[in-house]
Structure 1
Amino acid sequence: MSDYSKNEESAEPENASAENKPADTETAVPAETTERPARRLRWKWGLAVLVIGIAAMVIQWFRLAPDRTYQVFSVYEGIRNLVVGLLIWWMFVSGVAWKTRFKGLFGAVLAFVLFFTVVRVESFEGDMVPRFQFRFLPTAEQRAVEYFEQADNSANQKSESAETLVALEADWPGYRNALRDGIARDQQIRTDWESEPPKLLWKHPVGAGWGSFCVVGDRVFTQEQRGEEELVVCYDVTTGKQIWTQSEPVRFSETLGGVGPRATPVFAEGRLYTMGGTGILNCLDAATGQPVWSHDLLKEGDLKNLTWGMAGSPLIHDELVIVNQGVSPASVVEKNQAVIAFDKLSGEKVWWSGTHKPSYSSPQYAVLNGTPQVLIFNAKGLEGFALEDGQSLWFFEWTNQAGCNAAQPIPLDDDSVFLGAGYGQGSARIKIAPRKSSEKTAQVKEEWKSLSLKLKFNSAVNQEGYVYGLDEGVLTCLDLETGKRQWKRGRYGYGQLLLVDGYLIILGEDGRVELVEANPEKYVQRGKFQAIEGQTWNNPALARGRLFVRNSEEAACYDLSPLTQQGAAVTAEASNR
């Protein structure tokens, strides 16, 4: 018999009852089963992370006030830290089963992916808050392309020829008007908008872009991005119908700033001068849009584009076209390329200068201490250059962490200038002394500095010794003699404004237009209406009593002229027929 059989015979059946066992057999004690304690969620640790994270964000928010941009950046940083803290708690401290931990992590990632599958970031507001849109809805660019494919773009009104298209005082021939000070001269508007509301003349979609309008005679010019083409567009003033376009096969796009060209066309003696988002400088026939001459500044100068694109509108003075350029590579030793001047008729280079990194303000003409010059607000500060040869005359350091100076400087008198910047920098009035023969550059003195008017990319206007501008989105009045704030009221976001006949016309970031008195004593709002929809950073333009507004989605024209002028215009139009 095998050992296996012996063992099998001697084995007691498992189901043998206790009665069959010998009485003296010791009763077997079953082994104690050790149960795992139930896992408990250590929620108090997670709650502590949540409370500390939110408290830190609240503290930072108030600490950085009133600088809205840095406040928003602090929220992004706080959310990032909070997410990391909660992730560490959930994966390593929460105490739940590992299977549950990974399920929770997978669920959070899936929710994030599903959210951005359904919605997209349409754009960012001026303080960097994202604007979301459902992905199934068409983009503003797509709506514009569809509109212009279907629209009848033949202008009914006879357009003026190149010989008769002359910029008058009541026109708006370029960025912030002829002097770039945002003031509409020789114009009147009606101010009782309740009983005499602005009259809509036309409104329609436009391609993306942050530039404004140039308005001369019966023509209005702007720049747009439509798909893969960057356009200069000419519209009819009265109807808004497209007359001509000139295109370049380029596209500028940046996450925070969005899509499209940033600059505004400038009109001079029958020609139109434009700067594209990728640095293409064009001179066009204003009547037909046909190119006269062109320069690809970044390519020709072996330069890099600015982070948020080329934004400076060309300055036309005497026989020169003066523009900002791109950024010189670090490998280039000779960096005198920040500013360049061309002959406005031939397009030939006349001079180039500037060693500081360019920024987003446009060249500004000024006469200081009897010397005509061009002011360039670059990334490091404000600098004056001689018009005849580009020699640097003086420099005043005024910068911020972002290196972003975008607001237009305002020449005040024969020797002083007002300037302002955002990102916590503020504004100042500076005085430029006459240059001595022993000095290479003139001395510059800061007369006062104020944190009460931080101009991010929103330029201010000067009215009888007071400056009005948007301080991180809030309308502010500052005394130019002392730098003291007079008042601060009204939230407009990162919109723009202009001055006409003692009134401020403010185009808010949300597309609404408000009329406010340029009154240093108090804030007085006289009227408002919703002009366009969508995020609006573009400067308004006012020509012959007509207000032109646009953003990256649509454009519109409103008649603000006094009713008596409207009647006269109708009579004149009828007689011409």
Structure 2
Amino acid sequence: MSRLLLLFVLLVATSGIATAGDWPQILGPQRNGIATEEKLAKKWPVGGPPVVWERSVGHGYAGVAVKGERAVLFHRVRDEEVTECLNANTGETLWKQAHGTDFYPQVGGADGPLCVPVISQGHVVTFGAQGVLSCFKLDSGEELWTRKTHEDFGALEGYFGAGATPIVVGELVLVNVGGSKKEAGVVAFDLATGETKWTRTAEPASYSAPVEVTLADIPHVLMITRYKCILFEAESGAMRFEIPFGQRGPTVNAATPLVIDNKQLFLTASYGIGSVLADFDILHYSPIWEDDAPLATQYCTPIHQNGLLYCIDGREDQPPADLKCIEMKTGKLKWIEHNFGYGTVLFADEKLIIQKNDGDIILAHVDETGYRQLSHAKLLSGEVRALPALSNGRLFIRDAKTLKCVDIGQK
């Protein structure tokens, strides 16, 4: 092997860049619920897709993140929030780290973590229900740093604890901490050291995950807070624009914003807030339509494909919930599956993967003409809220007691 080729191989092997099949953060590589490289089975066996492995888990609603042959689980075991790195092929524990917790939610829900771990550049970042932000080495589990953000910035825990999954952009970790009293609604931390790099806004925290968008060759982050959607320049924290989005009272913003072709954004929330489609650039936004009739979903992030949005509309706690197809540019309803039941959606290989809150997992074909179920299986039980992860044909799913890895890949 030539020296040049060897150097290239080593660089690829040691880089933090997500490769085909990785699911290194919430909603996948681009945080849009889409796995572009996956090939799925056309149908599942009558008894459901094969279970590769399963294991017991602690409390919480955090889905797993997957990088290569490692899957990172974040859960509460007794009085500790545990970050646990697993062999993605077997479920075997490779390493784990823990921090003490006495969290109890204000209005119900889990007493464990909500945020999906972030794997980036050989690091694992977790954000616990009491605002404990930690960073570990992916290969060894060595703890690099920890910040108690709620204590440091005077943030409130919120209805269900901290639930806005962080994002890593370059050498920074950006978090919707919600430190309203200290103008630290959003905080950027150094990925290597945990040092505070900048703080911005007095905005309280949401339960929505931010997304990265590059504008004029500059990395930016689009973040939904408790009452607004704000575009930040990642490195400096400069606020480019903000959109009013949210309501006071017992409401939450929980779906992740969608960015389409770096020039349009789509936001949606329940509780009478509704949806917004807008054009935007580095300094401005211009609403195309705003309405709560087409879509007002509690925490299901829509899938965008070919100008259409696929999403489960409504709320988990106030059925019924309907599966809808919306023409994005107009908000026009193309079709609806009434009383479908609440859940979340992913997309791969021209198929929709639906995880319902009752534990039913569905494989379906969808387009502008309608919905066609291909397969379904009852794989989980009880209360199912943790987002699935899809990596190399394997679906990682969990309920309140069990984490399963099931094979839904093409044979």
Give the TM-score taking structure 2 as reference length.
0.90
Residues 291-350 of structure 1: per-residue CA shift (max 9 Å, x gap): 01111101111222222111122211111111110343xxx4xx4211111121122221
Deviation at 1:527, TM superposition (A): 0.7
Answer yes or no: is the 8 Å Cα contact 1:460–1:469 preserved in 2: yes
> Whole-Å Cα distance in 2 between the matches of residues 198 and 251 of structure 1?
38
Matches within 5 A, 1:110-509: 163=14, 167-194=18-45, 197-254=48-105, 255-328=107-180, 332=181, 335-368=182-215, 372-400=219-247, 401-432=249-280, 435=283, 442-472=284-314, 473-489=321-337, 491-509=339-357
Residue 310 of structure 1 aligns with an amino acid whose one-letter code is A
> Whole-Å Cα distance in 2 between the matches of residues 295 and 422 of structure 1?
32
Report percent identity of matched pairs: 29
The structure-2 alpha-carbon separation of the partners of 1:290 and 1:493, relative to structure 1 and needing over 3 Å to count, comes to: farther
SS in structure 1 of the partner of residue 370 of structure 2:
coil
The structure-2 alpha-carbon separation of the partners of 1:164 and 1:201, relative to structure 1 and needing over 3 Å to count, comes to: farther
> Whole-Å Cα distance in 2 between the matches of residues 451 and 371 of structure 1?
35
SS in structure 2 of the partner of residue 298 of structure 1:
helix
Residue 86 of structure 2 aligns with an amino acid whose one-letter code is Y
> Whole-Å Cα distance in 2 between the matches of residues 375 and 165 of structure 1?
22
Greater fraction of residues in helix: 1
Q: Which runs of 5+ in 2 are unaligned?
A: 1-12, 315-320
Answer yes or no: is the 8 Å Cα contact 2:74–2:116 preserved in 1: yes
The structure-2 alpha-carbon separation of the partners of 1:249 and 1:353, relative to structure 1 and needing over 3 Å to count, comes to: same
Match of 1:42 in 2: none
Aligned length: 391
Answer yes or no: is the 8 Å Cα contact 1:263–1:312 preserved in 2: yes
The structure-2 alpha-carbon separation of the partners of 1:490 and 1:232, relative to structure 1 and needing over 3 Å to count, comes to: farther
Residue 153 of structure 2 aligns with an amino acid whose one-letter code is G
The structure-2 alpha-carbon separation of the partners of 1:433 and 1:374, relative to structure 1 and needing over 3 Å to count, comes to: closer
> Whole-Å Cα distance in 2 between the matches of residues 272 and 445 of structure 1?
36
SS in structure 2 of the partner of residue 506 of structure 1:
strand
Residue 214 of structure 1 aligns with an amino acid whose one-letter code is A
Residue 221 of structure 1 aligns with an amino acid whose one-letter code is V
> Whole-Å Cα distance in 1 between the matches of residues 115 and 228 of structure 2?
20
Residue 502 of structure 1 aligns with an amino acid whose one-letter code is E
Deviation at 1:431, TM superposition (A): 2.0
What RMSD in Å do the two structures reach over aligned CA positions? Answer: 2.0
Deviation at 1:195, TM superposition (A): 6.6
Answer yes or no: is the 8 Å Cα contact 1:395–1:444 preserved in 2: no
Match of 2:399 in 1: 551
Deviation at 1:166, TM superposition (A): 6.7
Answer yes or no: is the 8 Å Cα contact 1:368–1:432 preserved in 2: no
> Whole-Å Cα distance in 2 between the matches of residues 462 and 249 of structure 1?
40
Answer yes or no: is the 8 Å Cα contact 1:306–1:326 preserved in 2: no
Residue 58 of structure 2 aligns with an amino acid whose one-letter code is G
Residues 170-217 of structure 1: per-residue CA shift (max 9 Å, x gap): 111111112111111211010222479511111222101111110112
Pair 1:531 & 2:343 matched: no
Residues 375-424 of structure 1: per-residue CA shift (max 9 Å, x gap): 11111121111112112111111213434111000011333201100112
Answer yes or no: is the 8 Å Cα contact 1:477–1:486 preserved in 2: yes
SS in structure 2 of the partner of residue 299 of structure 1:
helix
Answer yes or no: is the 8 Å Cα contact 1:280–1:296 preserved in 2: yes
Answer yes or no: is the 8 Å Cα contact 2:74–2:83 preserved in 1: yes
Match of 1:39 in 2: none
> Whole-Å Cα distance in 1 between the matches of residues 209 and 368 of structure 2?
28
> Whole-Å Cα distance in 1 between the matches of residues 304 and 33 of structure 2?
9
Greater fraction of residues in strand: 2
> Whole-Å Cα distance in 1 between the matches of residues 322 and 235 of structure 2?
40
Pair 1:541 & 2:398 matched: no
> Whole-Å Cα distance in 1 between the matches of residues 162 and 37 of structure 2?
32
Deviation at 1:369, TM superposition (A): 6.6
The structure-2 alpha-carbon separation of the partners of 1:433 and 1:365, relative to structure 1 and needing over 3 Å to count, comes to: closer
Q: Which runs of 5+ in 1 are unaligned?
A: 1-161, 436-441, 564-577
SS in structure 1 of the partner of residue 187 of structure 2:
strand
SS in structure 1 of the partner of residue 19 of structure 2:
coil
Match of 2:9 in 1: none
Answer yes or no: is the 8 Å Cα contact 1:252–1:261 preserved in 2: no
The structure-2 alpha-carbon separation of the partners of 1:327 and 1:552, relative to structure 1 and needing over 3 Å to count, comes to: farther
Residue 254 of structure 2 aligns with an amino acid whose one-letter code is A
Residues 210-266 of structure 1: per-residue CA shift (max 9 Å, x gap): 111101122111111111111111122122222222100113221422210000111
Answer yes or no: is the 8 Å Cα contact 2:178–2:202 preserved in 1: no
Larger radius of gyration: 1
Residues 438-497 of structure 1: per-residue CA shift (max 9 Å, x gap): xxxx35434343422112112111111111111013211111111111111164533211
The structure-2 alpha-carbon separation of the partners of 1:256 and 1:502, relative to structure 1 and needing over 3 Å to count, comes to: same
SS in structure 1 of the partner of residue 367 of structure 2:
coil
Match of 1:154 in 2: none
